[in-house]
Structure 1
Amino acid sequence: MTQNVDPLSTEVNVPLRAVVGNRELALHAVRETLRPGALDLPVRWAHVSELQDPVPYLVGGELILTAGVNLPERIDRYVRGLRDAGVTALGFGLTPNVHETLPEPLRRACARHGLPLLVVPTRTPFLAVNRAVSVALTEASQREQRRITAAREALTRAAGGGLGELTSSLAARLRAWVALVGAGDVLASAHDAPSPLPPQVADLMATVRAGSGIRSATTEVGDEFVVVQPVYPQATASHLVVVGRSRRFDGADRAILAVGAALLGLVGRAGSDAAELGAAATGLLLDRVSAGEVARELLGSDRCRLVVGAPYRRGPDEVAQRPDWLRARLDTPLVQVLPGPRFVAIVGPAVPELEDLRAHGWLAAAGSPVPVARPAAAVAEAELLLSRAQVLGRPVVAGSGPPDFDALLDPGASRGYATKLLAPLVSLDRGDRSLVLTLRTWLAHHGGWEPTAAELGVHRNSVRHRIAQVEKALEVDLADPEVRMRLWFALRWATPDAHGEAYSAVGRRMTSR
């Protein structure tokens, strides 16, 4: 088995037989230099070189043309170097007063190393060979573009029929078997694919999942060529497209596969999300499942994180504000976009890529992992982390940075302390004074009146008045850094359950402003 991982390529080429078969050129292929399949090798360009060592200037796939003006004495070394550089064939031009016949050492060396050797007759100038290859490449490019365009239109139409129809359409366009493989190597959709997939294919899928970027991997399994690549929109998506057939995949095939992978990723994700959310809503409405069971099923884990986001600088554009865009980036169907704009999402225990969100106008924070049955317990922490992120101008994740001393404390005792300390403010907030919210924002901005007022959308004198009410209600002096520290951690440890409906109202105001 051979295996390689490389970027998707749409480079145009023509088979060597298309050049050899051009009657106007009258080329003669030396039979003993042609190994099985040699005439199917790709030609990407025809290049004239009289250098004794042209290898440093080659990229592979060339038809090298030479009249043997500087043919080196060590012919065997010269031929071996061309073969190792990936040259498709060597065209030797018969030229009066230089080489009127094909040198036997060159013939023997090409036969020994399996480098196809073409004899170019005297009447055929190298320029004619160059022009013929160029014309063939142009025609091949036009054919490929027409084929890619037709395939794109057909696959787009098939996408409207769902995952199964799209898979079958992709298989027909590539004349190959196709499998869409999800996390845990579970078969999500297939057309004529072997079941189970060969072990070599599983190894190839592991190779792709371990990589980064949009890449494809190819391998040979018996007499078949197999290609694996991730679906879109995520290059590191858990779902992979696997295709196999008896012929190699050319540039047009790979371009069609890229289109199919993109559509499979979008259709598969949309269909999966809709079906899973529909089933979850039905179960909840019929009181057959709990919210925790629904979250566990959707996230595939007993733990989850709460991710909250607010605009960064100019904020997200119209596309980045769409729930489906956020679902794809955060890899969760549990996303809600709120006015402001703001968003809140429940994700799995793994930390999502928050820097990518910032690049698209979202500043986000991720809370600590909590049981899927109690995501509301993470609201206070996530909102405090978001305030910290807004002050720092970068994403914040719970537990990142220095070791977190929360692990040293009993969670029940911490929540009890927070509930007792903040109880006077929660009681006053039943009159919609927003004291908890103001205190949290003021502490996040290190006691800055102007930035606190700007974030809350009120006058700085209103902030001063509210902070004075906080000091009076709690009987504390907020100029004392020890007091500020205790209150900050009380806000962090607080939960909606600890404060009842009043704190829940504050939480809703936090996530909707």
Structure 2
Amino acid sequence: MPSLSQLLTQPGLGLRLVQAGAGDPEISWVSTTELVDLSEYLDGGELVLTTGVSLSADDPRWRDFVADLSRARVAAIGFGIGVVHEHIPDPLRSAASTYRVALIEVPPPTPFIAISKAVSSLLNVDELRAAHEALLAQQRILDHAFGETGPAGVVSAVAAATGRQVAVLSRADTVIAGTAGFPTNFDGDAGEEVAIPAGGARSSREVSLSSPEFTSLDIGAGRRLTVAGGPLGPEARAALTAGAIVMSVEYRGQERAGEREAQRWSRLTQALFDGDQRAPGLLHLLDPTVTVPPLLRAIAVQGSPDAISAWRAEPRGGIARLVALPTEPSPGVARAWQIITDGAPTEHALEVAASHGLDAVVGVAAPLEASMSSLHSLEPHLPTLSAIEQLYQEPRSPRIIHADRDSAVLGALLRAPSTAGTGQSQGEGAPARAVIGAMLGPLQCTPSGRDGDPHGLSDDERATLRSTLRSFLAHQGNRGACADHLGVHRNTVRTRLTRIESLLNRSLADPDDRAELWIALRLEDRLDTELTVGTDDRKAARQYSRKGAVPSPFTPPIATRRW
């Protein structure tokens, strides 16, 4: 803002300083008045012009008039002579000296409007100067943005332009990066900064981050560029704004690039779950340096949408980037899938999920190209995870379920040999196949004698009835929940269940039949995975556990579509 001395030197006004005030005050505006009590209409910094119409030369109220303007922190008083008073009244001079308020004399040829125009012109020049300085500061900040210093250079540039301590704060008010003098000790409960003197004793002074001592602008991803030290002037605020824009563009660019990358890995994950034969080779198109271990596991995580979002935002590398996009099976509940290396990486992935309060189901180990089998092995356990009211309880202990550790009965049937009364072993899994055939009959995935099947079931019909039976059993015989899960009407579920009972000659109201059918479905899932993981894969897995990851045996085919 222009100062009083600048106004006094303006040519053609003829202004004369009669009484100096405290220093060289800055003028924010001009106010013309003949009121005796004006303080409630002022903001401070004004040049008050008056001719003294309301007061005589010896009126004692001149003292109150000046005292009132002093409390309002005006820049100066301009008294126009030759209109009512030929000279500035002595009580006015005396009061201005007492309260140290600047007093100037306005000669008769000079109209008050000329002074207002002069102040306005000085204000315009000052605004242009401030805008030029702010532009220079913004240019310096942009230079850092496109240089090698990155965000650290932007923080330094904003600190230099504002003359303040600057930092980037997280959503939890943690200092991510900042200048050395920025306050870093904040009370966790109140979100307040607590000054700690050199002796180590806690000071009683506490300053809230939301107080006027801090000025913040959002830069995305829950981060804020924050300046400490009180309110900012126009130049400093322009520098802060420029820094926030630069960092916001950078962070948002990183977020968009990361999201695009995550979507590509998600599409590949879904292709693996769908059994796409090209998917294992396409993995190397996304990352030619990635190594594929012999055995991996599919993991399903479930929790609140916010928890799933935070889990998905965790930094990942290598195979761990195989994360499918989240879904919402019911309001307030979200679910996502990941493919992870068997062994220690799987345990670490479960720890990460638990840190976000997520339940998890771990599928059986399988090669990359058999990821669909690992997915199928965990699907029956999904309905048993925490309900919505349990997800939002605090504190809570997340559930962890391993599909290959859940049933001793399944393991015994899968590994039991059979002699079939011939004295010769028919190998492991023969009893399991016998149970599957006896219980599922025409609903087996690969029923024997399909060509001569008197029921005439097509593959689509068989798949529909199997999915309905699995959903019905997984929901503890609740037809309504089964219908909601399948997205069909309850009457449709009733019709399908009647057909299933007719085909299998079983009663779904009988708990024994339901238990045996469930075991048969689970056996078929597990047997399919056990057969997929062959001898060579088991040998490679043992080598992998001793030596670490090995290069992928798959040769990437020519890409036929973009990922």
TM-score for both structures, normalised by structure 2: 0.46
TM-score for both structures, normalised by structure 1: 0.50
